[in-house]
Amino acid sequence: MKEEKLEKEKPKTEIVNLNQRKRKEPSKPSLPASSKVGQMLKFSPTVDLFEPINCWWEKELNKNGQQWSYLEHHGLMFTTSYKPHNIPINYKNKEIVLPPAAEEVSNFWCSASTSAYGTKEKFIKNFWSALLCKLPSDHILKKEGAEFHQVDFSNIKTHLDELTRAAQEKRKAMTKEEREKAKREREQEEGPFSYALFDWLREKNGTYKTEPPGLFRGRGEHPKMGLLKRRIFPEDVVLNCHEDAPVPRLHPDMQGHAWKDVYFDPTVSWLCYYRDSVNSQCKYTFLGAGSSVKGLKDYLKYEKARRLGTRINIIRKDYRAKMQADNIVDKQLGTATYMLDILALRVGNEKDSDEEADTVGCCSLRKEHITFNKKASTITLDFLGKDSIRYLNTVKVDSLAFRNLSLFCDKKSASADIFDRISTGVLNRYLRDLMPSLSAKVFRTYNASITLQNELDKLDASVVDISSPDSIKQFYDCANRTVAILCNHQRSIPKQHEVSMDKLKEQLAKTTEAMNELQCYNEWLQKPHEKNEVFRYHHKSENQEENFTSVVKAGLKKDAVQRKIAQLTNKKKSQLLRINMKDANKTVASSTSKQHYMDPRISVSFCKKWELPVEKIFNTTLRKKFPWAMYARCDFVF
Per-residue pLDDT band for 11 (boundaries 50, 70, 90) equals very low
Burial class (CB in 10 A: 0-12, 13-18, 19+), 375: exposed
pLDDT one-digit tens code per residue, 533-580 = 667 776 655 555 556 677 777 677 777 878 888 888 888 887 887 787
What percent of the chain shows pLDDT beyond 70? 86
pTM of the model: 0.76
Residue-level pLDDT at 534: 67
pLDDT one-digit tens code per residue, 134-169 = 999 899 998 888 899 999 999 999 999 999 999 999
What ranges in 410-557 are assigned the alpha helix state H? 424-434, 440-456, 469-486, 497-526
Print burial letters for 154-183: b (CB count within 10 Å at least 16), e (below 16). eebbeebeeeeeeeeeeeeeeeeeeeeeee
CA–CA separation, 398 vs 406, rounded Å? Answer: 12
Q: Is 195 a catalytic residue?
A: no
Residue-level pLDDT at 530: 67
Print burial letters for 284-294: b (CB count within 10 Å at least 16), e (below 16). bbbbbbbbbbb
Average pLDDT for 294-301: 91
Which residue out of 117, 476, 521, 597 is catalytically annotated?
597
- Model confidence at 64: pLDDT above 90: no
Per-residue pLDDT band for 90 (boundaries 50, 70, 90) equals very high
- Model confidence at 100: pLDDT above 90: yes
Show Cβ contacts of residue 527 under 8 Å, excluding neighbours closer than 6 positions.
none
- Worst-scoring range by mean pLDDT, 289-298, 301-310, 543-552, 603-612? 543-552
